Amino acid sequence: MQPLAARTKERPMIELVFVACLAATPTTCEERRMQYVNVSLMECMMGAQPQLAQWSETHPGWRVGRWQCRFPQITKKA
């Protein structure tokens, strides 16, 4: 999967959303996102594990927990 700016065909944006927790303090967790365009949900799910493994290599103090691919949630401003 290529990051957001690397794709050109028009498809909806997809997010790979995952929870990362500190290895030393497993109760300290953050939700993280990687965004992609021109990727189907199935392509995101098939490519997620290598992407998360690469992220883990560059963030050695963190452990990836649950993850999912989804369409971005748009929040409306009041």
Query: Taking a C-beta distance cutoff of 8 angstroms, is the pair 34, 15 a contact?
Result: yes
- Residue 11 to residues 7, 40, 73, 77: CA-CA distances in angstroms? 10, 8, 16, 25
Note the pTM of the prediction, 2 decimals.
0.76
CB atoms within 10 A of CB 2: 12
pLDDT digits over 49-78, tens only?
999 999 999 999 999 999 999 998 766 665
Q: Determine the pLDDT at residue 45.
A: 95
More reliable by pLDDT, 3 or 68: 68
> What is the per-residue pLDDT for 9?
52
pLDDT at 73: 77
